[in-house]
Amino acid sequence: MIEPHLSPCTCRTCHLIFDKSEHQTRCPRCGDILKHRHFNRHHYPLIFLLTAFFFYFPANLFPIMVVEGIRGTTASTIIGGIIIFFKKKMYFIGAVIFLASVLIPLLKMIGLSYLLLNRDYSTISNRRKTKLYHFIEFIGKWSMIDIFVICIFAGLVDMGAMMRIQSGQGANAFLLVVLFTMLAVKFFDPRIMWDKLKDNEND
């Protein structure tokens, strides 16, 4: 365990561990501003999570991709697209899209909110919390695959009147969902998860 009289601190930039009791404000190695915790930003993840949560509805209800062809315009939502893939027996692609577009953002948001809500009192162990945090951080970027696919399609498939692919309103909302969940994770300081535990131990 850590010595109680010490106030250990880690530089977020260069990961140097030192004692902050000397009222240092900057990292002695890299010169970055030092803080024990981002306490003045502890509500940021919550704000971003809520924002992402609200955008999650239009992202799923509105068409994400609009295919303008000579047969007319076809707009498909995320779920609609997955259903089409499954109907056409393209289970693998359907599953990948389902994972990347529906499940991952959802899990991310649920997991993050779980971590945020259980910050002060814990029903699961710190190890599990850490695992969950790592998982959320890992899967986060995969949601961008949808936006990436639409961007590539929109760029490649532009044959005038024959066929054109455009992003729908849902794509904008979905982009915001992914963006804000990533921001939420980014601003989530995992150290706060353990603070309470430490306090409890101190008590």
Partner 1 sequence: MIDEVKVLRKRVIVSPLWIMPIAAAIISIWMIVNGHLNSGDDIKIEFESSVGIVAGKTPLMYRGMEVGKVTEISIAENRPDRVLIALRLKKGAEDLAKEGAAFWIVRPKIGVQEISNLDTLLTGAYIAVKPPSLDANNLLRLPKRNYFIGRTVSPSDDPCTDCSILTFTSSSKSNLKEGSGIFYRDFKVGHVSSIQLDHKLDKIIFKATIDSKFSSLLAHPIYLWKQKALDVDYSTNNLSIELAPLTGVLEGRIELGVLFDGKPNASEVLRLYSSDVEGKKEMMRLTGGKVVSFIIADNSSIKEASPIIYKQMQIGELDRFQLAKDGINITLQGYIYPRFSHLINKRSVFYTQSAAQIDTANFNLKLAAPERLMRGGIELMHATDDIDYGRSTRYPIYNSKAEAEQFLIGQRPGLRVILSANKKRSIEVGSPVLFRQFPVGDVEWIKLLPNGKQLQIGIYIQKEYQHLVQLGSKFWSASGVQASLSLSSGLKLQTESLKSIVAGGISFATLAQDTSAKAKNGEQYILHEKADEKWSD
Which residues contact partner 1 (rule: CB under 8 A)? Answer: 7, 36-37, 39-40, 42-44, 47-48, 50-55, 57-58, 61-62, 70-74, 169, 173, 176, 180, 199
For tokens 């992914």, name the residue: 178
Q: Least separation, in Å, of the C-beta of 10 and partner 1?
A: 15
Got the DSSP string for 1-63?
A: ---TT--EEE-TTT--EEEGGG---B-TTT--B--S--GGGTTHHHHHHHHHHHHHHHHHHS-
Q: Compute the distance between CA of residue 32 and CA of residue 105 in angstroms, rounded to an integer.
A: 33
| Choice between 50 and 99, CB closer to partner 1 | 50
| Choice between 83 and 99, CB closer to partner 1 | 83
For tokens 């639409």, name the residue: 150
Q: Least separation, in Å, of the C-beta of 51 and partner 1?
A: 4
Contact 102, 60 (CB under 8 A): yes
Q: Least separation, in Å, of the C-beta of 185 and partner 1?
A: 16
Q: Compute the distance between CA of residue 72 and CA of residue 34 in angstroms, rounded to an integer.
A: 58
Q: Least separation, in Å, of the C-beta of 138 and partner 1?
A: 25
| Choice between 65 and 173, CB closer to partner 1 | 173
| Choice between 74 and 118, CB closer to partner 1 | 74
